[in-house]
Every structure is written in structure tokens, then in C-alpha cells.
Amino acid sequence: MDSSQLLGITTFTYLFASFLYIATLVFRSNRIGAVATWFTAVALLIQTAGIGLRWIESYRMGIGHAPLTNMYESVVFFSWTIILLYLFIEWKFKTRTIGAFAVPLGFLAMAYASFAPINKGINPLIPALQSNWLLSHVVTCFVGYAAFAIAAALGVMYLLKAYFGSDKKDVAGLLPPLSVLDDIIHKSMVLGFIWLTAGIITGAIWANSAWGTYWSWDPKETWSLITWFVYAITLHARYTRGISGKTIAWLSLIGLLSVIFTYYGVNFLLSGLHSYGSS
């Protein structure tokens, strides 16, 4: 059994988990819900084992490093943080309906990792990436990205309910109350904002120790700052101008677009210091 098999299995278990959560929502069944939770938790364990094994495999190859160094590995880790964070939210807020929107994001990330034409090999690290800051930089950024992804999933739920929620019989009627959604969107954004801040800071410290410049307006840096501004604006709008509801839900989607562009678009469309991510 090697790591790529475990991660391949993860892709399909997340797909099945997504169906389970959607069934939970549609049939309003707590029994299916309990199965969905357990199934997702086991899938998360398999993925954790896969990531851990990949780490060990890199040491066996004599090029040991944390499995966070190319697009494939980062997407796998992104999926892992989304699911972990989702399970935490399910436990904390005692609601499974979010799973029907968040778990598919974890699946989509794994599906992209598995089926997109990207390099899935374990590669040695180029000199610039050989740093202790690698781990803390990538982990902080991706916890932030995962929180923003979940905020956006909640934003979709909010908008569905707000625009189509009049009839109690349709799917919108199955979703949690708008005030609850609004509250969790806000909390996810706050969490994401703090971790993104930490991610930008660890990146700046790393850049300074590698190149002597903590900030060089490289496209990736600039886009991470743009994303930071989007969420800073959102949080200010909510705190000081009392804006909530639909506007914040839309902003959660705009924020995620900015995250995706920072993470993905910059690597493929623009050039810069982070170009290793395109391999």
C-alpha cells in the first residue's frame, strides 16, 4: 500500500461522503447523517495516513520533506484542511446540513488532484524551498484558505435560502435559519482572516531570510494582500456599518474567487517567485 493508493481511495470516499450528506439533507434523516459523519471521519483518517505515508516515502527516497511542495500536494492538503475544519464546525454547531455544501469542496479538490494533468511525483526540493518556514507558511495559508472555502459554502447556502426560501417544502426550507448561517459565515471568515494574516507574515519572514526582502510585490504576494483586503473590507463593513446577510454572503463568494486566483490563477496565468506551484 503506498500513499497514492490511499489518496486515490480518499477521492472516492469523499465523493460517497458528499452523497451521504446530500441524502441527509434531502431526507432529513439523522440516521444517514450519523453514517455520513462517521464515513467522512474515516475518509479523513485514510487521507491523513496517505499524507503521512507520502512524507515517510520522501524520506525513504532520501529527499525527505513535508508533502506540501507542489500543486498536487497542496491541493491534497487543501482538501484535508477543508474536511477537518468542516468536521470541527459540525461538532461545534451541531448541524450536518453544511456538510452537503462543504464536503463536496473537499471532494472536488481531491478529484482535481487525482485527475488533472499535474505532476504527482515526490520531487526533491530546490534550494529556495529548503527552509523551516516552508511548513508553517503552507499550513497557515491553507488553514486560512479552507476557512474561506467553508465560508463560501455557507454563503451559497445563505443565498439559496434567502432567494428561494419562501416555500418551506423545497431544499431551502431544509437549511439552517439565516441568522445561524450568517453567524457561522462570519466566524469562518474571522478564522480565515487570522490564518491568512499569519500565512502572509510567515511568507514575509521566509522571503526575508531567503532573499533579504520581506515584501517585493511579486504577483502571489500582491494577490494574497488583495485577498486580505477583500476580507478586511468585509469584516469592517459588518462591524462598523452593520452590514450583514446577503451582502456578506456575496462577499464570501468574491473572497473565495480571490483566494482561488491567489492560489491557482497566479501560478498559471502570471509569473513570479511562486512559479514552482505550476509543476
Our finding on whether 197 is near another protein (CB under 8 A) is yes
Among 198, 253, 260, 273, binds another protein (CB under 8 A): 198
The DSSP string of 106-138 is: HHHHHHHHHHSS---S--PPPGGG-STHHHHHH
DSSP assignments along 62-105, one per residue: T----S-SSHHHHHHHHHHHHHHHHHHHHHHHT-STTHHHHHHH
List 35, 210, 253, 260, residue binding another protein (CB under 8 A)? 210
Collect all residues with Cβ–Cβ distance below 8 Å to 132 and sequence separation of at least 6: none
Q: Which of 20, 83, 138, 204 binds another protein (CB under 8 A)?
A: 204
Report the residue number, 5 or 216, with the smaller CB distance to another protein. Answer: 216
Shortest reach from residue 228's CB to another protein, in Å: 9
Interaction with another protein in 164-193: which residues (CB under 8 A)? 190, 193
Site for another protein in 257-276 (CB under 8 A): 266, 270-271
Give dist(CA 151, CA 230) in Å, integer.
13
Instruction: Provide the terminal-to-terminal Cα distance of the chain, rounded to the nearest Å.
Output: 25
Which positions from 3 through 62 interact with another protein, judged by CB under 8 A?
none
Provide the minimum distance between the beta carbon of 65 and another protein in the complex, in angstroms, as a whole number. 12
Long-range contacts of 30-38 (CB under 8 A, 24+ apart): 33/96, 36/96, 36/99, 36/103, 37/87, 37/90, 37/96, 37/99
CA distance 130 to 112: 27
In the chain, at which residue ranges do the beta strands (DSSP E only) sit? none
Count other C-beta atoms under 10 Å from residue 9's C-beta: 16
Site for another protein in 130-159 (CB under 8 A): 130-131
By beta-carbon proximity to another protein, the closer residue of 5 and 208 is: 208
Q: Kindly indicate which of the ranges 35-43, 109-117, 174-182, 222-230 contains the residues binding another protein, using the contact rule CB under 8 A.
A: 222-230
CB 186 to another protein: min, Å: 10
Cell numbers found for residue 47: 487521507
Is position 194 an interface residue for another protein (rule: CB under 8 A)? yes
Among 60, 94, 169, 241, binds another protein (CB under 8 A): 241
Applying CB under 8 A, the residues found at the interface with another protein are 63, 123-124, 126-128, 130-131, 190, 193-194, 197-198, 201, 204-205, 208-215, 217, 219, 222-223, 225-226, 229-230, 232-233, 236-237, 240-241, 266, 270-271
